[in-house]
Structure 1
Amino acid sequence: MKKEIELNQFPKAITKVFKAHGGLALWHKMHSLEFKIQKQKGYEVTLTDLRRRKSFIDLPHHSIGYDGTKVWLLNKDTIDYKGNPKFYHNLMFYFFAMPFVLADDGIMYSEAKPLVYEGKEYPGVKITYNSGVGESPDDEYILYYDPNSYQMVWLAYTVTYFSKEKSKTYHFIKYDTWQSVEGLKVPKTLIWFNYEKNLPTTERNRVEFKEVKFLEAPPEAAVFEKPDGATFVD
């Protein structure tokens, strides 16, 4: 009964999307997630505690972690990390964990104008956040789904982390291929698109998720703690 009450909190369309990807009940059974992304100089391996949203990313020259309160960075050698660890520590997890992360607390839903791409129309659900939710509560997302299968196809999103101001510019990701892991349908290949007038145009780059693992047991807590030699990121 508890799950039925929870599902009744969501609009009918996104409830069907969750179901098409394995369902929230199965997602909530999982406590640990790991995946790999191929980079130019090796693999990027991400481990996430799905309950506490702690994260650990192991890269060829660096490690990034989030202990539940602070983000830390470890340089393994003399090569400086070029990105922003606070912005990146959960970025690929969030894109990978669609559509299930759109059932998080503090989210508001509304109907969005459908996306038409190459002659096909995809209905949309717009996602906004209550004030104070996450690092960037002014971010907005639009999930576009196949009207027949209710499988997710596109994600449009704004980025407000750096400007701290609402944006009217949407970036676009096509959820191009999927894989089934422990009964959950999760992304295999994402394609970032160039965009014009808030519509996707041409392919920009691809990311493939490999060796995806879900576990019902939580990961070891120590892996997320700042190791010797690492520094907290302000």
Structure 2
Amino acid sequence: MKIKTPYKLLGLFLVLSFVACKETSKKETEKVVEIPVSKTGYDIPDAWIEKRVASANKRLNATEAGQVLWNAMEAHGGLDKWYGNGYFSLHFDYKPLNGKGIRDSYQTINTWSNQARHNSITDPTSIYGWDGEEAWIKAKDSTSFTYDTEFWALTPLYFSGQPFVLDGQGVNLELLPEIEFQGATQKVVKATYDAGVGSAPDDYYILYINAKTNLVDAFKYIVSYPKYFPDGGHAPEKITVTQGTTTVDGIVFATGFKTYWSTDDKDGLGEYITKIDVSDISFSPTVEDNFFSKPEGAEVLNK
């Protein structure tokens, strides 16, 4: 018996060693076969950005209203950084105070070509987006997004992207008289659109640009989205007021907004109706391949 015991121990040791080696080999194999996610780079040539910025500079500085808007873009970090920083991401939490129509998503936007993709905060597997031509959605069920995702795909950009989103062709600018707003002198610029520009060409924005800082302190706007107003017209005017700022990669962003019905009273602030929190702001040089494209199993909305 004493002679056999070492052999039994040796056999047990060999079995354990084999198992350990097998587990190690398995782990090593798993590491070897791991497939990295393919990425698409933000490959906008510097020459393209320089040309677009130079064109906007020339066009805007040809009018008084344009000069005010250009100075606001410079104060917010510059159009060159806006287009050169890469893919823009943020958590945009839109909360009407009546509890209806809450829109809470993490989104990434291609600022160069206005493509967007949103992930639900409560269910990140539920997504929707705009690829530049088609609006699409892929969600667990109809309760994932209880709002018009086609309309909302780019709407947050027109809050957090001010004043840069007004640099393009087809935007008409008018300089209105200066006003006092919340104790500060504001230069006022109204932006309208040529017919056929965007999905709601009858929309307008009226920017309050602080005369001292050149930052956008507030803006008025209307919603005239034809799907909501097929016979023409628009929703009542609202005014959105910046609540704090932060600087990310050289660009100054609002960290939140308060939205009110617009009135003719002092400061033009009527009933406070919506609180908006903006967080997790970042720029990235890459996204996953086909990031903005309709994924397999998604539904196209604007057929």
Q: Give the structure 2 partner of residue 163 of structure 1.
A: 229
Give the match's secondary structure for 1:225.
coil
Structure with a larger share of its residues in strand: 1
Structure 2: unaligned runs, 5 residues or longer? 1-49, 61-65, 96-101
Q: How far off is 1:141 after superposition?
A: 0.6
Name 2:47's counterpart in structure 1: none
Among candidates 267, 282, 287, match of residue 219 of structure 1 = 287
Would you say 1:229 and 2:297 are equivalent positions? Answer: yes
**Structure 1 vs Structure 2: percent identity of aligned residues?**
21
1:122 maps to which residue? 186
Q: CA RMSD in A?
A: 2.5
Superposition deviation, residue 80 in structure 1: 5.3
SS at match of 1:52: coil
Q: Give the ranges of 4+ consecutive aligned residues of structure 1 lying more than 4 Å apart after TM superposition.
A: 1-5, 38-43
Aligned counterparts of 2:278 and 2:168: Cα–Cα separation in 1: 22
**Which one of the candidate residues 190, 194, 199 is aligned to 2:261?**
194
Give the aligned partner of residue 152 of structure 1.
Answer: 216
Number of residue pairs matched by the alignment: 233
Contact 1:145 1:151 (8 Å CA) reproduced: yes
How far is the alpha carbon of 1:170 from its aligned partner? 1.9
User: Which residue of structure 2 lines up, in the alignment, with residue 28 of structure 1?
Assistant: 83
CA contact (8 A) 1:17 1:145 kept: yes
Check 1:39–1:174 CA distance in 2 against 1; reply closer, same or farther (3 A cut). closer
Give yes or no for the alignment of 1:47 onto 2:97.
Answer: no
Bigger Rg, which one: 2
Q: Is residue 210 of structure 2 the alignment partner of residue 210 of structure 1?
A: no
Unaligned runs of 5+ in 1: none
Amino acid at match of 1:194: W
Structure 1 residue 183 displacement after superposition:
0.6
Mapped partners of 2:190, 2:132: distance in 1: 28
Where 2:287 maps in the other structure, the secondary structure is coil
| 1:72-111 aligned within 5 A | 72-77=136-141, 79=143, 81-111=145-175
Cα distance in 2 between the residues matched to 1:17 and 1:9: 15
> Does residue 206 of structure 2 align to residue 142 of structure 1?
yes
> CA-to-partner distance for each residue in 1:104-160, whole Å, 9 max, x for gaps?
221111112444434544220010111111001111111111111111101111110
